[in-house]
Each structure stands twice: as C-alpha cells, then as structure tokens.
Amino acid sequence: MRRIGALIAAGVIAVAVAACGGSSGKGPVTLNWLVYPEPSGSFAKAAADCSAASHGAYKININFLSNASDQQRQTLVQRLAAGDSSIDILAMDVDWTAEFAHAGWIRQWTGANKAAVSKGLLPGPLKTATYDGKLWAAPINSNTEILWYRKDLVKTPPKTWDQMIDDADQLAKEGKPHYIEEQGAKYEGLVVWFNSLVNSAGGGILGPGNKVIVGPSTKTAAEIMKRLATSAGADPGLNTSEEGPGDDVFDAGTAAFMINYPFVWPAAHAAGVDPAVTKNIAYAPFPEVIPGKPAKVSIGGYNLGVSTHSKHAQLAFKAVRCLIEPQNQIRDAVKGGLAPVLASIYNEPAFEKAYPFHQLIKNQLENYGLRPQTPEYQDVTLAIQDTLQPAANIDPNGIVRKLSNEIKTALTGEALL
C-alpha cells in the first residue's frame, strides 16, 4: 500500500515525460542521462566528450534532477514505474541499486559490458552495484568519510571514538575550539554514522533474505552516539547538522574534529576560510570503534544504470562505459571532489596532487562498510532515523530490541513511516 501513491502519481505525470527528449530518426540518437546536478561541470564535459567520441552514433543529453537525494529517488521511481521510455541512463545513489534491480527498472550488465566495467574496480564500489549475485550498474564514483582535525589543537589524531571525545572534553576545559562535527540530523547522514559504527564493531543490520541481525554491535554504536551527543564536544546544532553545515562550522574555526567526505579539503582552502583552519587542517582514518580493529566506513557514491524501458539500450551501455573512463573519473575527482572507483587512478600524479589523502580513501574503499542492500532500503532507513534521532535521547540498553522491532515492522509494511 505504501507504494500505490507513487504509482498513481507516476501515471499522472507520464504524459509530460516526452518533453525530455528523444531521437527524430535523423542524426545521432539522443540518450537522456538523468543525474544529480554536479556543480563543477565535470559530468557535462564527460557527456560532451563521449558524444563526440561516438562519431555520430549518439548524443548524451543531461537532465539534472533535484539537489536533494530523496527527491532524486522519487522522480526516478515515478517515471520508471510509469514505463517512461525517454530515460536511457540514470544515476542512482548506491543504496537504490538493489531496489531498482528488484523492481525490474534497470538492465543487468552481462558479457563484455560486465567485464569492461568490472575490470580494476575497487571491491567496495563493485559490491554496491551487485544484487542477488548479479551486476546491475556501473559505479561512476564513490565516497567515504574520514576524520578531519586541527593539528594546532591536537598533536596526535585520536585513533578511537572514545579518544576523540576525551580530547574534545579536554579542549573544552582549556577554552579552545572543541566541537566534533558529525551528521546528526534526521536524514540519511545519520544512518551513515550509525551503520559505520555498527559495521566497525563487527555487526550489521540486515542479513540475507532481509533477516534482521541487529545485535550487540548496535548497542556499542548507540553508546558512542549518545556519549558524543551528551559531551562537551557536541555542537549545539548536532540535531540539525548535515555534511555542508558541519563543514561550515569547521571552516569557521570553532570545531577541532569533523567526520566528513573529501570535498572538505578544497573547501578549507577556499577564500574566506579562517587561516587557522587552512593552515592546520589534517586528516586521519575514520576512528576505530574497537581499539586495534580498523573501521569499516559506510561507502557512498553513485552507480549508473541503463533503464529497462530505454529504446536504445545497447548505445546506452556503450555511453556508460565511456562516462566512467579513467580520464573522466580523474576529472570528476579533481574538479568535483568525487572519489574514483578504479584502483589504478589512485596512483595517477594528477589525482595524488589533488588528493594528498588518496591512499587513505583507497584503504577505506577496500576495507569497507555497506548500508543494508535490500529492495526495502527506504523503509529500513526511515525506521533507523526514527529510532536514533535525536542521539542524546538514545537508550543503549533498550536499543537492540527497539530497533529490531521497528525494522521488522517497516519490512512488513505495517508502519506508516
């Protein structure tokens, strides 16, 4: 029942989709690529270059979606459910791949196409594009959060979450910048935080067949979240903080630590940033949950799929293979701050210069964590958000039972989320 409304809405908007483009039968075939509005222009450059390289076979037309991830998904779901044949290539958040594959909206990658996009892929991104043992998409970029800190405030970066919170408490006593910037708002960033802690503690949320496997690692994660939220290191805006606002606070010079993505590096070196931050920003691995056990950080990024309804599927497969070529991934990384998915790129001089922390990113994409891969991910993530926000109100002693029940209820469709 929870999806009927979306399907009805899809029928209503179906009459409007023809305006998004197509082919008149003369000249190159137009391939419509629906993707989030990448601001650097790197995607637009790749689309133009690949169109030219096709020698008149196709022209890639970019259709930008909303900036908001939830709205991106809603638009794609509505149009794909309506059988919209004007969509050829779509950019999916890694967590949508299982849902779209299960629904029959994207085509499986097989044969030479599968071999071409799988070769040299880092294991984490490859896993995000795989569902039920089959490859359903081509990763175009990835992402992983690391620890950013002020080396003028902290001589040695903390190795664990407990050490980081202890350091923040000490800095607060000394009257120095001490906040720990983390994503605590009721949105997907909160789930990334929680899932990274759970995976780093050796556990998970869902197993094969949507089996709920919430256990002791969930309690460990909840204890860390609550401790941070109730410590001196908690930013007063934690309950509404997302990646961008958290980075703004760090750049303003009032935070000592931040868990965030690679985009913060160029941001810290932009005009107007507190010089104390620019000069002293440093990076380290995502803090460990269990001392001595490397963290497993929930990776992000986008996968490119070929729509089941596309009238030009074979050309779309060729176009995707071009869009993810190494030269395009390098530009995406240098201009757009988007981590590549090919292992070889991490040794490219241009990339190393732009990403001095490149080996750290690569290591975390090899020793990775994943959010639950399930067709019902949207129900699962909402259940987690409802249960864990605000972090200061979490009851670690009751979290395992409570979250397990909430997720089971969500999976059976009995909750109006």
- Which pLDDT tens digit goes with each residue over 185-198? 999 999 999 999 99
Structure confidence by residue, pLDDT tens digits, 21-34: 444 457 899 999 99
Mean pLDDT, residues 210-223: 97
Structure confidence by residue, pLDDT tens digits, 123-179: 999 999 999 999 999 999 999 999 999 999 999 999 999 999 999 999 999 999 999
- Asked if the bond preceding 390 is cis, omega within 30° of 0, the reply is yes
Residue pair 391/356 in contact by the 8 Å Cβ criterion: no
Mean pLDDT of the chain: 92
Instruction: Give the span between the Cα atoms of 103 and 283, in whole angstroms.
Output: 40
- pLDDT-derived band at 84 (thresholds 50, 70, 90) equals very high
- Amino acid identity for residue 236 in this structure: P
- pLDDT-derived band at 9 (thresholds 50, 70, 90) equals very low
Mean pLDDT, residues 231-260: 96
Output the CA torsion 63→69→70→76 (10° steps). Answer: 30
Would strands 255-260 and 179-181 be described as parallel, antiparallel, or unpaired?
parallel
Q: Residue 271: its pLDDT value, please?
A: 87
Instruction: Give the span between the Cα atoms of 228 and 404, in whole angstroms.
Output: 23
Domains in the chain and their CATH numbers?
4-142+300-369 (3.40.190.10), 146-297+376-411 (3.40.190.10)
Structure confidence by residue, pLDDT tens digits, 275-313: 999 999 999 999 999 999 999 999 999 999 999 999 999
Lowest mean pLDDT across 164-168, 235-239, 343-347: 343-347
